[in-house]
Structure 1
Amino acid sequence: MIAKLSFLAALLCFGGFVRGDDCIPRYVENLRINVSAVLTWEVHPDEKCEIKEFKVDVVSDDHDYELHFKVVFQYVDLSILPVCEEWHFVVTPIAADDVVGYERRLVGHVPLPSSADISLRYFNVTQQNSRDVLLQWDLLNHTLGDCTLRYRIVIENRESGDFQDVYVSGRSTNLHNLSPCVPYHITIRAVNIAHPTIEGPIRFNNLEIPPHAQVSPSLTSIEIGPTSADMTWGLENWSNRCPVRALHIDGGSRFNISVPIEDSPDRPPVEVNLKGLQPNRMYYLKVAVENSGGLSQPSQIAVQTAELDPGH
């Protein structure tokens, strides 16, 4: 059965407004329900009508339960409603001459109260692969539910000092493309996103993904002469901070060269100067970078030296 309640409060008029049969009240603003289950709103700042009262309709999501109010104040106490159920809230201003204004509608849950325990029972971090981790957590207390909760996760890169701040729903999320060999400090807390916002206690984990080899180096420039080849190779930078040691150039049976690398924060391209090559000859090269996680997969290129100028 549809239950309907009607409440009529005493008349309160707002002075200084325009009177007239053609004055239609504007919709109210900032309609919201706070952690005390009080629905509040504000008169439109450009309102010209004299407002007599507000009509408030509250309907359950399945339309099986309704509440109807007429009030002169800009709030209604809805603490009789169950927490974490979804409702349709409609507020309509009514002018002094009984002209009904435009309605403002809000669809939302009755939020968790300020007394709700939103602390976390646990916070686990599980490495999925060389770059990704899975975060999992759960509430200590599920009595009231978690309909207005979001979870604030802050990831601090302790090498660069950078922070990433995200809000998620649910009880797990994945972090992608973290750098090996970088210490991360990860915190999480539940946040009741009702008004006012309430943050729960913090849990944290420290993480450092073990060393992992770089991706294959990339050729960024090359100049070829009859007996030389000068090239530069780009290295993986912020996505893999494991210390780099050397660039290895495998020329098969003809030569093998290692170029030591002094690692630096910006990791500029590595210069390679091949000398003593034969003119007009094809060289097949495999180029790999070594870091604390091992040797990368090689990049393979073919280099054709120029013909020797007969005049030299």
Structure 2
Amino acid sequence: MICRVFVCLLVYRLIGAKAQQCVPDPIFNIYLEDTTLSWQNISNCEGISYVTIIHSRNAGEIEYVYQGEDTTIDVSFLPYCRSYIFTVCAYSSVENLAGPFTQIGAYVPLPEGSSIGITNISGSQIGNNILIEWQVLREYLHCLDHYRILLWDEDSSEPKEITTRMNGYYITNAPFCMTYRVDMSVVYGGTENPVSTFNYTVPSATNNLSLLSVTQSATTINITWGLEIYSVNRCTVTSLTIVGTVINLTIPIQDSPERPPISVNLSGLKANSMYYFNVTVENEAGTSRPFQLAVQTLPIGYELDFDIGDSFDGYQYVQVSYSNG
């Protein structure tokens, strides 16, 4: 609420005033008790009201201007645990004159029995990290020594304890599909306020395959694959599929944290022939991008010496040299 013209330059309006004009008396005995600002009544002039201006002591900005006839103001709307400068003057609407201003500095305490809760907790994925954010109500923003955070993941028997004054915390290198539990509370004046609990599961992502080894004979190809490790992606893997030249094979996988290599033996193939494969792995996020592989079987009666070569046309080629056995 904005005060009118008298926004308190708050000076005596005695200069140029006629002798018969009534100037409101100065205000004494301003005090703040809990969240009630009070002062003495001024009655030496008619039409008396009071103008109150509230500055934040640290920022020095006007936060509130009020005019009314009461000699008290409930200032519980102000953020607690903060110092303010309260300026009050009496104003006569009959004389259109303001009396001298009076100022006090006072601290608005946290009301007894108050409970500072945490609200609007959220989690978001930023690259390989998770940002957990939260808020407290505006009136309690300054009533904070620190936040106490207890962080569990699915593998934790004991939580990690964090203290911070920020209203956010990064969980770094968070595995896909990991679930976290976060307990957080406000500590003020040595007292811990009620705990808020938040659970967050990192969004799922498909698993990336890596080629570990290839061995072949005239009629067989054996391929060994590695899955993305559990500490990077713990989304449950269910199957591996190979589709290619005369091959359409799906292998169920019983997933575990160890994620041992997966070996696939393809038999009944033609000798000295090139085979092309698209290999994918399925997990709860869906099907991975195909790993494209080209492998040539050996001529009958030859021994193998192979090398995993460069990719060509999107396929990873296995380069084969062989000698007559």
TM-score scaled by length of structure 1: 0.51
Query: Whose strand fraction is larger, Structure 1's or Structure 2's?
Result: 2
Q: How does 1:96-135 map to 2 (within 5 A)?
A: 119-128=116-125, 132-135=129-132
- Following the alignment from structure 1 to structure 2, what is the Cα–Cα distance between the partners of residues 116 and 136? 26
1:280 to 2:276 alignment:
no
**Structure 1 residue 198, shift from structure 2 partner:** 5.6
1:187 to 2:179 alignment:
no
- Following the alignment from structure 1 to structure 2, what is the Cα–Cα distance between the partners of residues 169 and 282? 63
Q: How does 1:141-160 map to 2 (within 5 A)?
A: 145=142, 149-158=145-154
Q: Is the 8 A contact 1:213 1:290 kept in 2?
A: no
Q: Deviations over 1:134-191 (max 9, x none)?
A: 3222234666837x84433332123564644444442223434434444321112235
The answer for unaligned runs of 5 or more in structure 2 is: 1-80, 84-108, 303-323
TM-score scaled by length of structure 2: 0.50
Relative to structure 1, the CA distance from residue 140 to residue 217 in structure 2 (aligned partners, 3 Å threshold; closer, same or farther) is: same
1:227 to 2:224 alignment:
no
Local SS of the residue matching 2:259: coil
Q: Is the 8 A contact 1:181 1:242 kept in 2?
A: yes
Q: Is the 8 A contact 1:125 1:133 kept in 2?
A: no
Q: Is the 8 A contact 1:123 1:203 kept in 2?
A: no
Relative to structure 1, the CA distance from residue 191 to residue 285 in structure 2 (aligned partners, 3 Å threshold; closer, same or farther) is: farther
Residue number among 291, 294, 297 corresponding to 1:302 in the alignment: 294
1:178 to 2:174 alignment:
yes
The answer for unaligned runs of 5 or more in structure 1 is: 1-82, 86-111
Residue number among 197, 222, 237 corresponding to 1:204 in the alignment: 197
Instruction: Report 1 or 2 for greater relative contact order, CA contacts < 8 Å, sequence distance ≥ 6.
Output: 1
Report the counterpart of residue 242 of structure 1 in structure 2: 235
Query: What value does the CA root-mean-square deviation take over the aligned residues?
Result: 3.6
- Following the alignment from structure 2 to structure 1, what is the Cα–Cα distance between the partners of residues 292 and 155? 33
Relative to structure 1, the CA distance from residue 221 to residue 117 in structure 2 (aligned partners, 3 Å threshold; closer, same or farther) is: farther
**Structure 1 residue 295, shift from structure 2 partner:** 0.7
- State the AA in 2 paired with 1:226: A
**Structure 1 residue 209, shift from structure 2 partner:** 4.0
* % identical equivalent positions: 32
- Following the alignment from structure 1 to structure 2, what is the Cα–Cα distance between the partners of residues 162 and 269? 31
Q: Deviations over 1:105-155 (max 9, x none)?
A: xxxxxxx99x99783431412334796543222234666837x84433332
Relative to structure 1, the CA distance from residue 300 to residue 144 in structure 2 (aligned partners, 3 Å threshold; closer, same or farther) is: closer
Relative to structure 1, the CA distance from residue 140 to residue 255 in structure 2 (aligned partners, 3 Å threshold; closer, same or farther) is: same
Residue number among 261, 266, 277 corresponding to 2:258 in the alignment: 266
Moved more, 234-243 or 122-131: 122-131
Count of matched residue positions in the alignment of Structure 1 and Structure 2: 197
